[in-house]
């Protein structure tokens, strides 16, 4: 490790301790957690204070790349994105506080991606962000991305890159993940085009900027605290020591969006998206194809008209961040305005709507709900904390009265009925030894930096996946089985007696009540958790779910099929009676026909008998 990095770590420890003492002054605060330092979170690539020219102010880019076209200009769409506001995200800061409590200096892993300019300038210490300056809050800035160097020095890379890589004070990070980035120490800006006689600033053509490997830098994230063992588990490595290996394959997989894409048909594409992704180019393959869709126009006010301008809106699944930022910061500081925010949110909703399809059918006594993943990665993907997708089913009688509901969401309390539907999510936990050492409960929790086990991952794979490849990339399903190539999931719901139709909806929610309450309640060092909770509870209207898909189905005139649970269907006979008795005694779903669902009692027995004898209620 370089002397620069060693000095950076020493300074960080002093500042972190000083900042923590100041926050806790006057109060008796006991913080459990791991006695780590920045060595534990070390990653190769360009290190703090190694740029000859600091990253430049993104507002300067607006002079030529902003305020002329709301679609194809880079500046305003980027600024009104989660990338542009990554360092102002209140949930991010609430999570950073918990990471620092759980492992000293743990916030470093977060700051590398959310404020790379501040990190590279050495202002990310202490790791609570208290030393960051104004320019650092520009998040994933223009100058950062456009000075990124391909660590693999691929074909067509700028001539200077070989020397830049050779001059690194660390290993070359050839395995892209966890913000192991390389940045040109000079202000030589890069992009996917060859610009002849460009006179405004130095420019280099860079194929890297069209590749998904560039996105992997921050969209495959590993926890370096935990080392992969021969049996596939993850154990805590030696503390206050750099990781034994910086490969993603040896570290705990916190999120693996890039790897999910890599194991999909999209990576071998292009795939014809039918126009749902890609802008004016429906043939999509890379991350950029979908998240920076091409349009006709110009990217610089004096630039050349092109048919394939890569737009910079870069939407994902967050519909609330920009409104939260506008509540916390003045528009003069952020550069946001209502029009750009509205466009970004509308594009986000459209992205979510296009990410899935929904098909309904009747399978004997059940309603069969098929959710199809049309995206290039798992659905949902990314940051696992408080992020989920679920199926909501409403059954109606012949008079359109609601008679039963599965996956109900209470908008007043912001709570979901999870036990009676399919919830797609990733849940992490700490092994008992880690939980004991860190002073947290065992089992699933939101202490992300301390998690070293995947408790649940039933998220729907992307098309073309194989279980063998998922296993190799540390992204195998947990708690659910998908056959190779299946980019869909089917859930059956027993059709209640008297049901004539059903409405089915698929919802996505990026931030749950449980998560924001955790961030509020577990924070003992600052007010970031309270800030996020108060925003969630007021300005953000408790982050309501986004409707991704909806469909309806009718069941015909009978509506008495709760007793028709065995072949031959359409006939109520001894086979149905025997099947019900077996299901009732074994507490199986076929016998759970009456509320309260999840309980096998006299109400189920009575309704079955009524229906079997022809007396539909």
Q: What is the mean pLDDT of each run of 10 residues along the chain (617 residues)?
A: 45 42 41 89 98 97 94 97 98 98 97 98 97 97 98 97 98 96 97 83 95 98 98 97 97 98 97 96 97 96 92 96 98 96 98 98 94 98 97 92 96 97 98 95 95 98 98 97 98 90 97 98 98 98 98 71 73 87 88 80 86 64
Alpha-carbon gap, residue 421 to 314, rounded angstroms: 32
What is the full DSSP assignment across 101-128?
HHBTTTTHHHHHHH-HHHHHTT---STT
Domain housing 568: 561-612
- 484 in a domain, yes or no? yes
CB-CB neighbours of 601 under 10 Å:
11
Q: Are 514 and 427 in contact (CB under 8 A)?
A: no
- 451 in a domain, yes or no? no
377 & 308 share domain: no
- 430 in a domain, yes or no? no
* Burial 458-493, CB ≥16 within 10 A → b, else e: bbbbbbbbebebbeebbbbbeeeebeeebbbbebbb
Give the pLDDT of residue 167: 98
Give the pLDDT of residue 558: 44
Q: Tokens for 192?
A: 């996917």
122 & 26 share domain: yes
478 & 572 share domain: no
- 617 in a domain, yes or no? no
- 43 in a domain, yes or no? yes
- 168 in a domain, yes or no? yes
- 448 in a domain, yes or no? no
Alpha-carbon gap, residue 78 to 313, rounded angstroms: 5
As a residue count, the chain comes to 617
490 & 576 share domain: no
pTM: 0.87
45 & 118 share domain: yes
The long-range contacts involving 565-570, CB below 8 angstroms and separated by at least 24 positions, are 565/364, 565/365, 565/590, 567/364, 569/364, 569/365
Picking from 141, 149, 97, the residue whose alpha carbon sits closest to that of residue 119 is 141
| DSSP 8-state code for residue 459 | P
471 & 395 share domain: yes
139 & 233 share domain: yes
504 & 574 share domain: no
Point out the domain boundary residue: 333, 350, 367.
350
To 5 degrees, how large is the angle CA 67–CA 70–CA 72? 100
Point out the domain boundary residue: 510, 533, 554.
554
Please give the C-alpha separations between residue 297 and each of 304, 310, 421, 428, in angstroms, as whole numbers: 8, 10, 46, 44
Give the pLDDT of residue 561: 60
Give the pLDDT of residue 13: 42
Alpha-carbon gap, residue 533 to 592, rounded angstroms: 38
Alpha-carbon gap, residue 384 to 425, rounded angstroms: 7
Strand-by-strand arrangement of the 234-236 sheet: 234-236, 220-228, 251-256
182 & 228 share domain: yes
Classify burial at 24, counting beta carbons within 10 Å of its beta carbon; exposed 0-12, middle 13-18, buried 19 or more. Answer: middle
Q: Are 97 and 523 in contact (CB under 8 A)?
A: yes
Per residue in 439-478, pLDDT tens? 999 989 999 999 999 999 999 999 999 999 999 999 999 9
Collapse the DSSP code of 27 into the 3-class scheme (helix H, G, I; strand E, B; otherwise coil) and give the result. coil
Q: Are 71 and 79 in contact (CB under 8 A)?
A: no
Give the pLDDT of residue 556: 60
Collapse the DSSP code of 596 into the 3-class scheme (helix H, G, I; strand E, B; otherwise coil) and give the result. coil
471 & 339 share domain: no
281 & 133 share domain: yes
Q: Are 249 and 259 in contact (CB under 8 A)?
A: no
- Which residues are registered as beta bridge partners of 356? 373
Tally of domains within the chain: 3
- 454 in a domain, yes or no? no
83 & 120 share domain: yes
């Amino acid at each position: 490790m370089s002397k620069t990095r060693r000095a950076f770590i020493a300074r960080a420890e002093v500042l972190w301790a000083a900042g923590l003492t100041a926050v806790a002054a006057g109060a008796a605060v006991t913080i459990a957690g791991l006695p780590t330092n920045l060595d534990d979170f070390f990653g190769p690539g360009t290190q703090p204070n190694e740029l000859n020219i600091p990253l430049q102010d993104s507002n300067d880019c607006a002079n030529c790349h902003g305020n002329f076209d709301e679609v194809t200009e880079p500046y305003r769409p980027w600024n009104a994105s989660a990338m542009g506001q990554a360092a102002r995200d209140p949930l991010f800061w609430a999570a950073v506080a918990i990471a620092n409590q759980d492992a000293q200096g743990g916030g470093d892993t977060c700051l590398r991606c959310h404020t790379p300019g501040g990190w590279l300038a050495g202002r990310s210490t202490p790791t609570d962000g208290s030393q960051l300056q104004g320019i650092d809050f520009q998040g994933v800035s223009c100058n950062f991305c456009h000075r990124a160097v391909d660590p693999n020095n691929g074909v067509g890379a700028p001539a200077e890159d070989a020397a830049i890589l050779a001059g690194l004070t660390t290993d070359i990070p050839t395995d892209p993940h966890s913000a192991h980035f390389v940045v040109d120490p000079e202000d030589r800006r890069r992009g996917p085009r060859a610009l002849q006689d460009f006179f405004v600033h130095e420019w280099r053509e860079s194929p890297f900027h069209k590749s998904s490997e560039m996105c992997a830098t921050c969209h495959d994230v590993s926890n370096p605290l935990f080392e992969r063992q021969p049996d596939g588990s993850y154990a805590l490595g030696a503390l206050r020591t750099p990781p034994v290996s910086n490969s993603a394959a040896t570290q705990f997989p916190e999120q693996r969006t890039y790897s999910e894409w890599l194991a999909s048909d999209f990576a071998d594409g292009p795939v014809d998206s039918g126009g749902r992704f890609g802008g004016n180019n429906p043939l999509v393959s890379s991350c950029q194809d979908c998240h920076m869709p091409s349009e006709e126009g110009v990217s610089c006010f004096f630039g050349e008209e092109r048919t394939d301008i890569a737009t910079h809106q870069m939407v994902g699944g967050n519909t609330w961040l920009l409104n939260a930022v506008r509540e916390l910061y003045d528009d003069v500081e952020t550069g946001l305005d209502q029009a750009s925010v509205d466009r970004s949110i509308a594009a986000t909703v459209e992205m979510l709507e296009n990410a899935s399809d929904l098909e309904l059918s009747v399978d004997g006594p059940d309603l069969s709900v098929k959710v199809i993943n049309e995206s290039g990665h798992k659905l949902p993907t990314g940051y696992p904390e408080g992020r989920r997708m679920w199926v909501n089913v409403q059954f109606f009688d012949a008079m359109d009265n609601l008679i039963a509901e599965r996956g109900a969401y209470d908008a007043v309390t912001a709570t979901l009925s999870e036990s009676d539907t399919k919830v797609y999510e990733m849940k992490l936990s700490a092994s008992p030894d880690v939980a004991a050492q860190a002073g947290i409960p065992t089992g699933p929790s939101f202490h992300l930096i301390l998690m070293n086990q995947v408790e649940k991952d039933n998220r729907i794979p992307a098309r073309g996946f194989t279980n063998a490849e998922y296993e190799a990339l540390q992204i195998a399903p947990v708690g659910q089985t998908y056959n190779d190539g299946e980019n869909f999931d089917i859930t059956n719901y027993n059709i209640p007696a008297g049901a004539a139709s059903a409405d089915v909806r698929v919802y996505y929610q990026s931030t749950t009540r449980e998560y924001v309450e955790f961030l509020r309640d577990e924070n003992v060092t600052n007010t970031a958790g309270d800030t996020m909770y108060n925003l969630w509870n007021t300005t953000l209207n408790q982050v309501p779910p986004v409707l991704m898909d909806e469909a309806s189905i009718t069941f015909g005139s009978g509506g008495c099929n709760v007793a028709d649970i065995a072949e031959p269907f359409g006939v109520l006979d001894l086979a149905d009676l025997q099947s019900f008795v077996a299901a009732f005694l074994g507490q199986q779903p076929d016998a759970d026909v009456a509320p309260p669902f999840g309980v096998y009692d006299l109400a189920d027995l009575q309704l079955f008998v009524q229906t079997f004898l022809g007396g539909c209620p």
